[in-house]
Structure 1
Amino acid sequence: MLVQRLGAPSDFDPLLERVRDARVVMIGEATHGSYDYYRIREQLTRRLIAECGFSFVGVEGDWPDCDRVHRSVTGASGGAVEPQAALERFERWPTWMWANAEVARFCRWLRAWNMERPEPARVGFHGLDVYSLWESMQAIFDYLGEEDPASLEAAQDAYRCFEPYGKRIEEYGDAARFVSARCEQEVVRLLTRTREQAAVDGPGAFSAWQNAEVVAGAERYYRAMVAGGPGSWNVRDTHMADTLDRLLDHYGPGARGVVWAHNTHVGDARATDMAADGMLNIGQLARERHGADEVVLIGLGSWRGTVIAAPRWGAPAEAMLVPPARAGSVEQRLHELMPERAVLVFGGPDQPGWVTDILDHRAIGVVYDPSFESWGNYVPTRLGQRYDAFIWCDETTALHPLPALTAAGEMETYPAGV
């Protein structure tokens, strides 16, 4: 195992050496609301793009919202000149995950980088998640109305099937227990038509195809959610892994992707108690599909600090205190052993016990109650199997949300709000 004190971007050099030949690099976060994680992720991703030639960034966000950001950072027709304007249009709660000053700074850098390059060489920014059913449906209507009016009927059939549930789309899952209420046939028909059109058209068709995949994934997600258990979580992470693979194919031979998501999605589920509960995640799926040598999983964590989160689902975000990690946890051991900031690259015969043994590892979602620290907010983990590398920040501070429209989003499944 290699340990490098982290104080400047050049201190990522040992990690860059580890990821230099990887096709996929996933960079996690222990919370969605810590400035330090976003800043470190930005610094590392800039180097992956500039020095290693990565092709796109895929994030734990909705495809339509992120597509507006993508159009801005790549200078596409109709895209905002200022990426922050696209980020401020994010509506689904919690908006602060992507509509924040830290992401805006990275996107401004990315646009400047891209504007110095020909269009085929520009680096994209894409959403991997499954929640944007209505927004994706509208995007499909907009596309088909201009490019393939003959396929509008398939889109209208799918829309009419979901329409009775309105914004309470989770109620579709309840209704879908009865076969007559299911929208599977309509969604499959829509997906088939947009996939066929994407085969002959350009980037706009690919985006429409992905929106159709979101609609199909959302239909499966809400049906699985009613059954409880790991089903809806697995539908969601499988959808994100499938989207990542479509992007790699779309960007062509030699394409390489960076993924930004919570540790619970990035770190291999097989090295945690998630596996015993029947759960998988995008980090595990990427290793299985592409091979461990082609995928590098990087976790982040801290001992204490402040974080942006909400006390309950849909509530306004607020800065909260993150207390010192509990005794016996990964974070407590790193607090005792590591400098204030460090990069750990796992591997070799000299792995200490806290890397190979099962220890509690903190995970904070968009909903957080610090009083749960005594019994919740931790995932039993073999750190060196869950990640290829880990970035340590002893103390973190809350990120800086942008002013944004807010609307209650779909409830996310266990681990809560990640």
Structure 2
Amino acid sequence: MTAAAHGRSRAAGVLAEIRSLAAPLTGAPDLDRLVERCAGARFVAVGEASHGTHEYYRWRALLSRRLIEEHGFTWIGVEGDWPDCWRLNRWVRGQAEQDRDARGVLAGFGRWPRWMWANEEVAEFLDWLREENARRPEAEQVGFYGLDVYSLWDSLREIITWLEANAPEALPAALQAWQCFVPFHEDPHEYAWSTRIVPESCEADVVALLAEVRRRTLGRLEEDPAAFDVALNAMVATDAERYYRTMVRGDRQSWNVRDEHMADTAELLSRHHGPGAKGLVWEHNSHVGDARATDMFDAGLVNVGQLLRERHSAPEVVLVGMAGWSGTVIAAESWGEAEEVVAVPEARSGSSEDLLHRALGEPAVLVFGRDRSGAWLSGRFGHRAIGVVYHPWREAGNYVPTRMGERYDALLWFEGTSALRPLSHEPPPEEPELETEPSGF
């Protein structure tokens, strides 16, 4: 057999393998097999190939609704800030801001890129979740939480407010940490660069604050939601300080600081919701898909999906990815700039997206079985990842070498995608934003 004939034969085998795994995806009932696969897991992490695609948000919400309604999932952790999402958590539980609808509460999201959460797709899901919670006893209500690490100043403010009301004698530790950060005008970039120039930081102050908050909340976390909130804010403040200080040195280990924080927060949420609690994680594919199946591993990077798999047995963790061939997406030209609708070109030849398009030609759900030795599932193909900053003319850099069968347990595939629907437009930045890598690119 000639080399060309061998290549054609291998390609035909790959396409046949993809077809054997796929089932049409036209409505929520088509998720039955995936829902069954996820039903017994403790953690179901649902990824997305961009932060600005309508179909990814819509189908993530449909899958989540079914797992909540049919299989008792009771918490959602998202790639968002803890203080902002705690407000949403209280709102969906009927505990605060009940004079507003979801769009009104989401309008409070201020950190760029706001469209990640302040969009019509998330608002529709949250409206449904509040109605669902209203029918449930308090102990069975579904929580909505932020897993991310960026809210340094907001978290410090929340800690001070809680200590003023509950442990005023402990305020000095909080105020000392706050005073350490005051000269940097709530600008993480300014703080981080200062630690590079002068090897002094606020690390000792935030670590001392974390210890003080833990001491004050010891034994209260299960029955007192406010104590749980302040304990998580203290953890955010500590890890955020370390994240910014590491990142500005050009150390890629800042990625690990962030993903370890998000995985640790997911673990705490699982324990907080009690024995047998089952939760959903909503993040970009770059955090959800096991890093060991990509070139991230070669660079010494870990991610949430990998960490959850390493900490739990295989049946307890299900990782679901998403991918699309072409369409439109919401993204920005550069960091901190206003969003725009950007055309996503047809996938590069030879990538997994190209193979899925050639094999299927329509939306599909692919659930991987135990045997993942096929040429596509075990092979190494490019897999597109679009960040909040996106330049279609630099497509080559958006493909992550991936062994699909090791990275995910299932994949949702879309032929054509459309842009997310933001609730409002991003205002022009007052000054340059610090690039904090919400998708790690």
Deviation at 1:338, TM superposition (A): 1.5
Q: Shift in Å at residue 245 of structure 1?
A: 0.7
Q: 1:326 to 1:213 in 2, by over 3 A?
A: same
**Higher mean C-alpha displacement, 261-270 vs 159-168:** 159-168
What are the ranges of 5 or more consecutive residues in structure 2 without an aligned counterpart? 1-19
Q: Within 1, Cα distance between the matches of 2:347 and 2:425?
A: 32
| Structure 1 partner of 2:400 | 379
- Conserved 8 A contact 2:328-2:418: yes
Corresponding position of 2:435: 411
Q: Which residue of 2 aligns with 1:228?
A: 250
Q: CA deviation at 1:351?
A: 5.0
Code of the aligned partner of 2:417: T
- Distance, in Å, in 1 between the alignment partners of 2:190 and 2:99 is 35
107, 123, 128: which one aligns with 2:142: 123
**1:12-411 counterparts in 2 under 5 A?**
12-78=31-97, 81-177=100-196, 181-201=200-220, 202-349=224-371, 352-373=374-395, 375-403=396-424, 410-411=434-435
Letter in 2 for 1:198: T
Using the TM superposition, name which of 153-162 and 172-181 deviates more: 172-181
Q: Distance in 1 between matches of 2:212 and 2:99?
A: 30
Q: Per-residue deviation at 1:33? A: 0.3
Cα distance in 2 between the residues matched to 1:350 and 1:160: 54
* 1:45-104 Cα distance to aligned partner (Å, 9 max, x none): 000100010011100000011111111101114555422211111000000000000000
- State the AA in 2 paired with 1:298: V
Report the CA distance shift for 1:362/1:41 in structure 2 as closer, same or farther (over 3 A). same
Distance, in Å, in 2 between the alignment partners of 1:270 and 1:147 is 44
Shift of 1:119: 1.1
AA aligned opposite 1:399: L
Distance 1:411 1:79, change over 3 A: farther
Letter in 2 for 1:244: A
CA distance 1:113–1:160, change in 2 (3 Å): same
Q: Which amino acid aligns with 1:232?
A: S
Q: Residues 44, 143 of structure 1: CA spacing in aligned structure 2 closer, same or farther, 3 A cutoff?
A: same
> Partners of 2:426 and 2:242 in 1: how far apart?
28
Aligned equivalents of 1:180, 1:326: Cα separation in 2: 45
Contact 1:130 1:240 in 2 (8 A): yes
Structure 1 gaps of 5+ residues are none
CA separation in 2, counterparts of 1:18 and 1:385?
16
CA gap 1:302/1:328 in 2 versus in 1, 3 angstroms: same
Question: In percent, how many aligned pairs have the same letter?
Answer: 51
State which structure, 1 or 2, has the greater radius of gyration over its C-alpha atoms. 2
In 2, distance between residues paired with 1:152 and 1:205? Answer: 15
Deviations 1:344-369 (A, max 9, x none): 01124375312210000000000001
- Give the CA deviation at 1:20: 1.1
After superposition, give the CA deviation of every residue in 1:29-51 in whole Å (9 maximum; x if it has no partner).
Answer: 00000000000000000001000
When normalised by structure 2's length, the TM-score is 0.91
8 Å CA contact 1:68–1:79 kept in 2: the answer is: no
Judging changes above 3 Å, is the alpha-carbon distance between structure 1 residues 347 and 252 closer, same or farther for their aligned structure 2 residues? Answer: same
TM-score, with length taken from structure 1 = 0.96
SS at match of 2:270: helix
Tell me if the contact between 1:233 and 1:414 (Cα under 8 Å) persists in the aligned partners: no
The CA deviation at 1:145 is 1.2
Tell me the distance in 2 between the aligned counterparts of 1:77 and 1:363.
Answer: 37
Task: Provide, for residues 130-184 of structure 1, a one-character-per-residue CA deviation record: whole Å limited to 9, x for no partner.
Answer: 0011111111111111111111111101111111112322232233347762112
Aligned AA for 2:144?
A: F
Aligned partners of 2:54 and 2:421 also within 8 Å: yes
Deviation at 1:414, TM superposition (A): 8.8
Give the whole-Å Cα distance in 2 for the aligned partners of 1:410 and 1:245: 29
Q: Distance in 1 between matches of 2:251 and 2:385?
A: 19
